[in-house]
Copies of this chain bind each other. A is one copy, B any other.
């Protein structure tokens, strides 16, 4: 562990008790001046560290910042999020992660940003990223899979995000195929899955997740919402911890990714269906060359949507947009 982290962890462990500068020196194995310098750096990152003469230092507040020191603290994953790169501001976490993956960034690495200036959605659409209010993250995955299995990665991400939001906020989050998460019918999260692949082998996948956490209505696109907005007036005073929610999501993604690799997509699809905002509903399917209405019937093991046409025929939809009808 880095001396920096040892100092932070000691302060965390000590709770409201002051730790002397001398003890911090011993623990970190560095000089007094070095301890002081590191305390300053932690303060810059947003940690509220109180210092009292003769007593020492005390951690009075931690930042809700998507930085390695916070995300990795008691993170219960084996490989996902073990390497974290955090940016204050970046064009797009998916773009950055893609470039780094091309240079060899390992499976499990995660890129976070507090703000994206060119956040992207599917098909080159814009994803607006309110600064400091959301979770904008991209995971590098290197599964031994064929390219046609990539929809399964979006599936596990959707299930992981929905379950995490439900457990952490109590909100009844639902999945809208293929890559949106809704609360009360309004979009709070989008998933963008990209890959580099050969014909029969994925080189790497960038799994991008954007969640509006504490954003306010006025800062969001018309059809969008945030977890905080959906919590309603009674709980709107409190901010939701982005760090805690992001950790839950990383833990859930790793869990479902492991299940997918060892046992396939079956049980995950069952969970997906449970949280579907769409199955059983009337939908409009918008494909590049035609638009039609049908009933959303099922999701198949490859992650495609199966709809029932008015003729009674079933049709598999692998791409395109789906509009839910009243």
Q: Interface on A for B, CB 8 Å cutoff?
A: 122-123, 144, 146-148, 150-151, 153-154, 178-179, 192-201, 203, 288, 318-320
Contact = CB atoms under 8 A, between A and B. Distances in A.
A199 B151 contact: yes
Contact of A319 (B151, B194, B200): B200
Contact of A198 (B146, B194, B200, B201): B194
B147 A197 contact: yes
A199 B154 CA distance: 8
Contacts of A178: 199-200
A178 B194 CA distance: 24
B319 A146 contact: yes
Contacts of A201: 122-123, 319
A266 B319 CA distance: 22
B144 A147 contact: no
Nearest to A194: B198
B147 A195 contact: yes
Contacts of A151: 199-200
A287 to B, nearest CB: 10
Contact of A318 (B144, B179, B200): B200
Contacts of A123: 198, 201
Of residues A148, A192, A200, A319, which shows the largest number of chain B Cβ atoms within 10 Å of its Cβ?
Answer: A200
A315 to B, nearest CB: 15
Contacts of A148: 147-148, 318
A181 to B, nearest CB: 15
Given A146-B318, A147-B147, A196 B193 contact: no
B196 A194 contact: yes
A151 B200 CA distance: 8
A267 to B, nearest CB: 20
Contacts of A198: 122-123, 192-195
Contacts of A200: 122, 151, 178, 318-320
Given A122-B201, A146-B318, A194-B197, 18 more contacts: A122-B200, A123-B198, A123-B201, A146-B319, A147-B147, A147-B148, A147-B195, A147-B197, A148-B318, A150-B199, A151-B199, A193-B199, A194-B196, A195-B196, A195-B198, A197-B197, A200-B320, A201-B319
